C-alpha cells in the first residue's frame, strides 16, 4: 500500500497519521452534533473528546509496547514512532475509559448517558483509523489465496512483502463501520443508560474473535499457550457485556 502520503525532502506525511486524524475529526463532529441535540455544553464535550483521543493514543501505544518488549528494548527510540503503526485497541480503550470517568466527574455529567453519547463517534473513528493500518501495513493478516488478498510491495510497509495476505485491517474497518451503523439504529430504542457502550464492547469482542485467527503479525504473549491477549480480553468481555446490557435495561434511561 502507501505508508507515505507525501514526502518533501526529509519531511514526510504518513498516511497512517492522516487516517487517524480523519477518524478523530469525523468522530468529534458526530459527537458534537449529537451533544448539541441532547442539550450538552458543546465546549465540555469537545474538551472531553480531545482528552479521550490523547489518552487513547497513549494507552494503545503503551499496550503495544508491553506486548512486544523485546523489540522495543532493542529499539527504544521507536517507542514514540506511532506514525509507523503499532496501537492496541484495548489498551487505548482502557486508558480512554479511565480518562472519561475522571473528566465526566469533573464536569458533573451523567457518566453512563455521556458514554452512550460518545461511543458511536468512537466506532466511526476506528473505521477510518483502521484504513490507516492498511496503508501502513501494520496489523496484517496471514498468507491466503483468496481473491481479495492484499500484496504489500512498498519497502516502507510494516507487512510482509510480496505475499498475498488477508486484509485484516479492512476486516476491522468494516467491523467498526457495522458496529457504528448498529449503534445509530438502536440508540433510540435503548431502555437504560449505558446499554450502548456495553453493546459496543460486546460487538467489538465478537468481531475481534472472528478476525484474530486471520492475523499474521506478532501477537505477543499467549494466555494458557492458546489465546492471544486480545482473544482473552474478548472472551472475558462477552458475558460481562451481555450481563450489563440486561442489568442496565432494567433502569430507565434519562431524557
Residue 23 within a domain: yes
Work out the pLDDT band at 221, boundaries 50, 70, 90. low
User: In Å, how far are 30, 41, 63, 98, 226 from 178, measured between CA atoms?
Assistant: 16, 29, 25, 26, 28
Mean pLDDT of the residues in the chain? 86
Residue 167 lies in a domain: yes
Beta-carbon count within 10 A of 14 CB: 23
Number of domains in the chain: 1
What was the pLDDT predicted at 241? 96
Q: Which of 173, 196, 197 is nearest to 185 (CA)?
A: 196
Instruction: Work out the average pLDDT over 46-68.
Output: 84
Q: Would you say 176 and 126 are in contact if contact means Cβ atoms under 8 Å apart?
A: yes
Domain membership of residue 229 as a residue range: 4-249
Instruction: Indicate if the pLDDT at residue 1 is higher than 70.
Output: no
Please report whether residue 214 resides in a domain: yes
Q: To which H or E segment does residue 14 belong?
A: strand 11-14
In tens, the pLDDT along 138-181 reads 889 999 999 999 999 988 888 899 999 999 999 999 999 999 99
Identify whether 64 is part of a domain: yes
On whether residue 157 sits in a domain, the answer given is yes
For residue 90, tell me if it sits in a domain.
Answer: yes
Has residue 196 been placed in a domain? yes
Q: For residue range 184-197, what is the model confidence (pLDDT) as tens digits?
A: 999 988 989 999 99
pLDDT surpasses 60 at 255: no
**32 assigned to some structural domain:** yes
**Per-residue pLDDT tens digits for 81-106:** 766 666 777 778 888 888 888 988 88
- pTM for the structure as a whole: 0.85
Amino acid at each position: 500500500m502507501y505508508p507515505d502520503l507525501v514526502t518533501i525532502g526529509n519531511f514526510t506525511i504518513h498516511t497512517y497519521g492522516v487516517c487517524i486524524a480523519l477518524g478523530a475529526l469525523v468522530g468529534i463532529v458526530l459527537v458534537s452534533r449529537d451533544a448539541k441535540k441532547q442539550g450538552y455544553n458543546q465546549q465540555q464535550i469537545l474538551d472531553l473528546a480531545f482528552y479521550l483521543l490523547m489518552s487513547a493514543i497513549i494507552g494503545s501505544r503503551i499496550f503495544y509496547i508491553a506486548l512486544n518488549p523485546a523489540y522495543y528494548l532493542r529499539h527504544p527510540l521507536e517507542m514514540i514512532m506511532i506514525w509507523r503503526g503499532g496501537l492496541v485497541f484495548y489498551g487505548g480503550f482502557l486508558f480512554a475509559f479511565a480518562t472519561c470517568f475522571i473528566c465526566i466527574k469533573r464536569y458533573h455529567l451523567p457518566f453512563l448517558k455521556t458514554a452512550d453519547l460518545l461511543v458511536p463517534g468512537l466506532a466511526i473513528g476506528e473505521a477510518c483509523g483502521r484504513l490507516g493500518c492498511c496503508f501502513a501495513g501494520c496489523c496484517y493478516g496471514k498468507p491466503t489465496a483468496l481473491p481479495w488478498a492484499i500484496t504489500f510491495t512498498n519497502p516502507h510497509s510494516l507487512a510482509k512483502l510480496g505475499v498475498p495476505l488477508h486484509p485484516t485491517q479492512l476486516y476491522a474497518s468494516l467491523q467498526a463501520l457495522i458496529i457504528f451503523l448498529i449503534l445509530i439504529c438502536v440508540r433510540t430504542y435503548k431502555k437504560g443508560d449505558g446499554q450502548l457502550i456495553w453493546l459496543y464492547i460486546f460487538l467489538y469482542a465478537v468481531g475481534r474473535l472472528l478476525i484474530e485467527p486471520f492475523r499474521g503479525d506478532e501477537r505477543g504473549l499467549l494466555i494458557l499457550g492458546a489465546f492471544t491477549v486480545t482473544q482473552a480480553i474478548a472472551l472475558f468481555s462477552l458475558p460481562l457485556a451481555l450481563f450489563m446490557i440486561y442489568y442496565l435495561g432494567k433502569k430507565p434511561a434519562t431524557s
